[in-house]
Amino acid sequence: MSIVVIVGAQWGDEGKGKIVDLYTQHVDVVVRFGGGANAGHTLVVDGNKIVLHLIPSGVLHPKTRCVLAQGTVVDPAVLLREMDEIAARGLLGPGRLSISDRAHIVLPHHPLIDGLREGEAGKNAIGTTKRGIGPAYEDKIARRGVRMGDLLDRARLTDKVERNRAQWQPVIVALGGKLPPLAETIDDYLAHGERLKPYITDTSRFVAEAIARKESILLEGAQGTMLDVDHGTYPFVTSSSTIAGGACAGAGIGPTVIDEVVGITKAYATRVGGGPFPTELHGDEGSRLREVGAEFGATTGRPRRCGWLDMPALRYAVRVNGIGSLALTKLDVLSGLGELRLCTAYELNGQTLSELPYDDFDKLVPVYETMPGWTEDITKCRSMNDLPVSARSYVARIEELAGCKIGLVSVGADRNETIMMHDPFKR
């Protein structure tokens, strides 16, 4: 039995879906502990693509049970659409999915407010996914949120939604919007509740019971460390705790039960939305990474900003998450580049910094180390010795600069296009 937290070590989209899928073969329960329908991963089932935003990708493994824990914010309509897609493929059997009664729900005015505010913010726009994530978490923290359990009781739901709407009404009007009709919202959400009822439960107890049975549990993070509300490039962050510590609060387990934290990082860097990105490449090199790496958002389809691997940011991620091993993804995307660069430090006002500072991200000047590239196709490599010497040196240098071992290297999108040196579920 192992209990492993998997987190993104960059700005999200590190390729967590493939790594979670790989590990899930040995896992009994996969738990999403934060975020909402802002996340997204594309899965291929029998040659057909499905994009899931809420349900963990573990649902494809018929023996794995999936949990949406209380740290998540759930848009019930999105969730039901995903459940229908999964059910149509025969994958939603009894007991396969549990949803926390304490998870906050995304109300119809949340995406509305998200979109209106972004439209107004001009150059200060965060570039959110406009899924209502920020307003839903704001309501939770302001103690006026509506939770999954509330969907099961008309009087309670109506009371909470009415009080919630009263708080937002002036804001929506000031932004030039209009609240969706109350009666429709209540009817729709009660109908969602009726369908979701068999899945709504106390998931923290569910996970505790799995731990007591000595089952293997994977706690799946969403987004990435640099988007964490406390530790990311604030205010250009999401509204939840995306780091490994968030797994305990979000899933309702104690830190003492966690065996290992795995951090996922691409062999380069990407970011979608606004905000600082010190190693961003604006010209042809950035476009090449975007095209070869298919760097377009799974949720919004937006082109991702691309750049070199930022080692100070990665080192920081290793530290704040307590990462024990890294999975390095998309190394194959770098094949064919004459030279590679690694950002080893930043310069800020004449000083050299080896870690991310508190602010002034836009003023950071990256300091680069240049390394030779390789031309060979590496997608068939299955051990480190199969890799060209310069690819091996690149991986070794990342390990050295990150101060953390690399336990897995992904050399292609397919499940078997992987070099596995360390499996956190085999102990």
Quote the tokens at residue 419.
């070099």
Pick the catalytic residue: 41, 53, 192, 231? 41
Q: Could you tell me how many residues make up the chain?
A: 427
Binding positions for ligand IMP, 217-236, rule CB under 6 A: 222-223, 227
Among 133, 210, 247, 269, binds ligand IMP (CB under 6 A): 133
Instruction: Determine if 134 is a binding residue for ligand IMP (CB under 6 A).
Output: yes
In the complex, what is the shortest distance from the CB of residue 239 to ligand IMP, in angstroms, rounded to a whole number?
6
By CB under 6 A, is residue 131 in contact with ligand IMP? yes
Q: Residue 114 or 260: which CB sits closer to ligand IMP?
A: 114
Structure tokens at 203: 């998931």
CB-closest chain residue to ligand IMP: 273
Per DSSP, 362 falls in state G
- Residues β-bridged to residue 265: 328
3-state secondary structure of 185: helix
Using CB under 6 A, which of 78, 81, 115, 127 touches ligand IMP? 127
Look-up of token digits 């987004």: 223
Least Cβ distance, residue 126 to ligand IMP (angstroms): 5
Residue in 2, 57, 100, 128 binding ligand IMP, rule: CB under 6 A: 128
Count of residues near ligand IMP by CB under 6 A? 18
Q: Can you tell me whether residue 366 is helix, strand or coil?
A: strand
Q: Among 11, 411, 27, 422, which Cα is nearest to 220's?
A: 27
- Give, as ranges, the residues between 252 and 281 that touch ligand IMP (CB under 6 A): 272-273
Minimum CB distance to ligand IMP smaller for 16 or for 96: 16
Q: What is the nearest approach in angstroms of ligand IMP to the Cβ of residue 223? A: 5
What are residue 44's DSSP bridge partners? 49
Does 38 help bind ligand IMP (rule: CB under 6 A)?
yes
Q: Is 228 a catalytic residue?
A: no
The residues, ordered by sequence, that sit 6+ positions from 218 with a Cβ below 8 Å of its Cβ are: 4, 6, 20, 23, 24, 27, 29, 30, 31, 58, 425
**Residue 32: which of 64, 82, 67, 75 has the closest Cα?**
67
Q: Does 12 bind ligand IMP (CB under 6 A)?
A: yes
**Interface with ligand IMP includes 238 (CB under 6 A)?**
yes
Footprint (CB under 6 A) of ligand IMP, residues 339-398:
none
Asked about 231 being catalytic, the answer comes back as no
Percentages helix, strand, coil for the chain (3-state, rounded to 5) are 40, 20, 40
Question: Which residues are known to be catalytic?
Answer: 13, 41
